[in-house]
């Protein structure tokens, strides 16, 4: 009985975390595309040898914490002639203030 109610509480907690936090983004939303192009431009700025060319957003989620929106996007970009998928995280503090938190090759693409 005790174990079952503990499992029930965990399931409820996890479900509420999932519904409160992450929303799937519309990959065609111009704002989502702006966030993704920012990630690629910023990555190129931080890595002088990199010349990635943004292609499209594959999938992503966003969640809002303390007025900041965190976008976790998988995007495709061209690296020379190769088209790769990259996993990125961008934090949006305001409409003019984005920061690139993470940018990594997704090896499963
Ligand atoms: C969020 O934004 C609102 C309106 O701009 C502001 O009043 C509030 O203090 C902000 N909250 C945080 C946690 O920054
Ligand atoms: C782009 O391709 C070059 C050459 O293969 C490789 O060295 C580099 O790590 C790649 N960069 C990214 C961000 O995938
Ligand atoms: C953007 O956010 C950073 C970190 O919070 C802050 O230092 C900077 O002043 C902000 N820039 C603008 C243009 O709001």
CATH of the domain at 100: 3.10.450.10
Ligand nearest to the CA of 92: 3
Query: What gap in Å lies between CA 50 and CA 47, rounded to an integer?
Result: 5
For ligand 1, atom 10: residue with the closest CA: 67
pLDDT-based confidence at 47, cuts 50/70/90? very high
Sheet with 97-105: strands ordered across: 23-24, 52-65, 68-79, 82-94, 97-105
pLDDT(35) > 60: yes
pTM of the model: 0.78
- The span from the CA of 35 to the CA of 72, in Å, is 10
Domain that holds residue 38: 2-105
67 alpha carbon – ligand 1 mean position (Å) = 6
Q: What pLDDT was estimated at residue 30? A: 97
What is the number of domains present in the chain?
A: 1
Question: Quick one: pLDDT band at residue 66, thresholds 50, 70, 90?
Answer: confident
Mean model confidence pLDDT for the chain: 88
Q: What's the average model confidence in pLDDT over 2-6?
A: 63
């Amino acid at each position: 009985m005790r174990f079952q109610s503990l499992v029930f509480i965990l399931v409820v907690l996890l479900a509420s975390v999932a519904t409160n936090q992450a929303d799937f983004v519309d990959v065609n939303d111009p704002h989502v595309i702006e966030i993704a192009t920012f990630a690629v431009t910023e990555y190129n700025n931080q890595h002088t040898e990199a010349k990635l060319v943004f292609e499209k957003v594959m999938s992503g989620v966003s969640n809002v914490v303390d007025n900041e929106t965190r976008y976790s996007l998988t995007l495709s970009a061209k690296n020379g002639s190769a088209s790769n998928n990259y996993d990125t995280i961008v934090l949006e503090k305001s409409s003019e203030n984005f920061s690139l938190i993470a940018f990594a090759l997704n090896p499963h693409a």
